[in-house]
């Protein structure tokens, strides 16, 4: 039998878990952390937890990271409890402290672990063709933003500096091009040209923040479809996960990243680019759901910029994949050598399609404002 990627005796001791360990599953959704479902048996009943190895190259300060997450999840839990919501305990993640009171522990090999209670009777999606479910995704992220509207953003640490500062992401790309660390520049001339041609776009939101035109809110910043747990029976997005990048940010980041991932007719790493496009019907489904919750909280300018938010987040993600490809794949997990390049290509294909469909995206958005 293959060696387990964690030491189960140590995990049980540190997080004081009772019950007999019966097995685990590897969850392959994220590009950063490693995630496992742990299954125990306690008094004849199965009990599940989710164990995550935090990528400490990306998240350098686990104490600050977990301080953010525990504060945010406690806030959300309190809100649903006060509202007497059905299933209040399933509406956010419950992290378990270690015996020393910290919400993570570092093992002898310097791996950093955290544990939360498994949310039962839910599913996740990596692609979607159901407008109804994507509409529910919009509702879920709209509600997430509302519920954090009265959370004090100044108490949050910046877990990754300038995370959605597209201008500084662009500078990082230029540096990677100059250094060409992995010797791959020659093979990505078209992608580099596509990226450099859109430099003007990279400053737009950054400048508007500096000029006070757009408000900072507490945002998720990584609103991929697979960061929503959907209820098996109602298909509602009941719990938002992957809270590592909850920080002050723009509503446009969250809206845009959802569209980037969920309204793409192909997966993020599809090799056949003819399958990649922006689905206007999925775009509409999301806008409708999202604005049904967030409309009143957003300013006119934010609402006007939603389609641009989708484009710029897709572009930003594309240049991040390209940068990592040029740097030799040091940031995102890859399954094969061209993985980051394939991801970059889908993102740029989608940007091009959004540019073609920008007017239609604007029309649709207006309808729900
Ligand atoms: C990463 O961890 P995951 O897979 O949910 C990344 C996001 C990217 C995304 C692209 C901390 O998210 O910013 O948009 O990959 N997270 C971090 O799929 O960099
Ligand atoms: Mg994730």
Residue 86: band (very low, low, confident or very high) from pLDDT cuts 50, 70, 90: confident
pLDDT at 2 over 80: no
CATH number for 8-120: choose from 1.10.10.10, 3.40.720.10, 3.30.530.20, 3.30.200.20. 3.30.200.20
Find the helix or strand (DSSP H, E) in which 44 lies. Answer: none
pLDDT at 100 over 70: yes
Report the nearest atom of ligand 1 relative to the CA of 160. Answer: 11
Give pLDDT, residue 220.
98
Report the nearest atom of ligand 1 relative to the CA of 317. Answer: 14
Q: What topology does CATH give the domain 131-367?
A: Aminoglycoside 3'-phosphotransferase; Chain: A, domain 2 (3.90.1200)
Which is nearest to 146 in space by CA: 220, 65, 55, 37? 220
CA of 242 to the centre of ligand 2 (A): 5
Residue 29: band (very low, low, confident or very high) from pLDDT cuts 50, 70, 90: confident
Average pLDDT of the residues in 255-280? 98
Out of 28, 29, 30, 32, mutate this one to test ligand 1's pocket (max ligand atoms within 8 Å of CB): namely 32
Report the nearest atom of ligand 1 relative to the CA of 32. Answer: 2
| pLDDT cut 90: percent of the chain above it | 97
Average pLDDT of the residues in 86-106? 96
Give pLDDT, residue 1.
60
- 3-state SS assignment for residue 20: strand
Q: What would the pLDDT profile of 43-78 be if each residue is shown by its tens digit?
A: 999 999 999 999 999 999 999 999 999 999 999 999
Give pLDDT, residue 208.
98
Burial of 154 (0-12, 13-18, 19+ CB in 10 A): exposed
Burial of 241 (0-12, 13-18, 19+ CB in 10 A): buried
| Cross-strand pairs, 228 | 240
Residue 3: band (very low, low, confident or very high) from pLDDT cuts 50, 70, 90: confident
Q: Whose alpha carbon is nearest atom 19 of ligand 1?
A: 32
Average pLDDT of the residues in 185-204? 98
Average pLDDT of the residues in 184-203? 98
Q: What would the pLDDT profile of 291-337 be if each residue is shown by its tens digit?
A: 999 999 999 999 999 999 999 999 999 999 999 999 999 999 999 99
pLDDT at 89 over 90: yes
Query: Residue 58 contacts by C-beta under 8 Å, 6 or more apart in sequence?
Result: 32, 160, 331
Report d(CA 96, CA 49) in Å as an integer: 10
CA of 181 to the centre of ligand 1 (A): 22
Average pLDDT of the residues in 199-219? 98
CA of 250 to the centre of ligand 2 (A): 19
Start and end residues for every CATH 3.30.200.20 domain found in the chain: 8-120
Which is nearest to 195 in space by CA: 302, 94, 97, 315? 315
Q: Which ligand is nearest to the CA of 164?
A: 1
CA of 359 to the centre of ligand 2 (A): 30
Average pLDDT of the residues in 135-154? 97
Task: Determine how β-strand 247-249 pairs with β-strand 217-219.
Answer: antiparallel
* Averaged pLDDT of the chain: 97
Out of 68, 224, 344, mutate this one to test ligand 1's pocket (max ligand atoms within 8 Å of CB): namely 224
Cβ neighbours of 354 (radius 10 Å): 24
Residues with CB under 6 A from ligand 1: 30-32, 58, 222, 224, 227, 242, 244-245, 268, 317
Start and end residues for every CATH 3.90.1200.10 domain found in the chain: 131-367
Report the nearest atom of ligand 1 relative to the CA of 260. Answer: 14
DSSP 55-91: -TTTS--HHHHHHHHHHHHHHHHHHHHHTT-TTGGGS
Residue 238: band (very low, low, confident or very high) from pLDDT cuts 50, 70, 90: very high
């Amino acid at each position: 039998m293959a060696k387990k990627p964690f030491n189960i005796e140590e995990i049980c001791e540190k997080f004081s878990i009772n019950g007999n360990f019966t097995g685990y599953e590897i969850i392959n959704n994220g590009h950063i952390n490693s995630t496992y479902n742990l299954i125990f048996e306690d008094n004849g009943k199965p009990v599940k937890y989710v164990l995550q190895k935090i990528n400490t190259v990306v998240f350098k300060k686990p104490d600050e990271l977990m301080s953010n997450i525990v504060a945010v999840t406690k806030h959300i839990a309190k809100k649903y409890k006060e509202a007497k919501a059905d299933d209040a305990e399933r509406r956010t993640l419950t992290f378990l402290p270690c015996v020393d009171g910290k919400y993570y522990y570092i093992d002898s090999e310097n791996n950093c672990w955290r544990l939360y209670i498994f949310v039962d009777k839910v599913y996740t999606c990596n692609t979607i063709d159901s407008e109804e479910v994507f509409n529910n995704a919009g509702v879920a992220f709209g509600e997430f933003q509302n519920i954090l509207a009265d959370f004090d953003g100044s108490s949050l640490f910046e877990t990754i500096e300038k995370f959605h500062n597209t201008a500084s992401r662009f500078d990082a790309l230029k540096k990677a091009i100059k250094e060409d660390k992995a010797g791959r520049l020659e093979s990505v001339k078209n992608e580099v040209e596509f990226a450099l041609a859109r430099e003007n776009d990279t400053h737009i939101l950054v400048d508007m923040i500096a000029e006070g035109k757009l408000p900072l809110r507490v945002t998720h910043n990584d609103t991929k479809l697979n960061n929503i747990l959907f209820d098996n029976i109602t298909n509602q997005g009941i719990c938002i996960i992957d809270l590592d990048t909850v920080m002050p940010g723009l509503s446009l980041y969250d809206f845009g990243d959802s569209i980037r991932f969920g309204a793409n007719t192909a997966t993020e790493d599809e090799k056949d680019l003819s399958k990649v496009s922006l689905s206007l019907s999925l775009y509409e489904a999301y806008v409708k759901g999202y604005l049904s919750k967030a409309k009143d909280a957003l300013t006119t300018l934010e609402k006007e910029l939603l389609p641009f938010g989708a484009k710029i987040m897709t572009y930003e993600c594309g240049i991040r994949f390209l940068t990592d490809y040029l740097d030799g794949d040091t940031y995102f997990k890859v399954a094969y050598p061209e993985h980051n390049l394939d991801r970059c290509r889908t993102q740029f294909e989608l940007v091009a399609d959004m540019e073609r469909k920008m007017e239609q995206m604007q029309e649709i958005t207006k309808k729900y404002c």
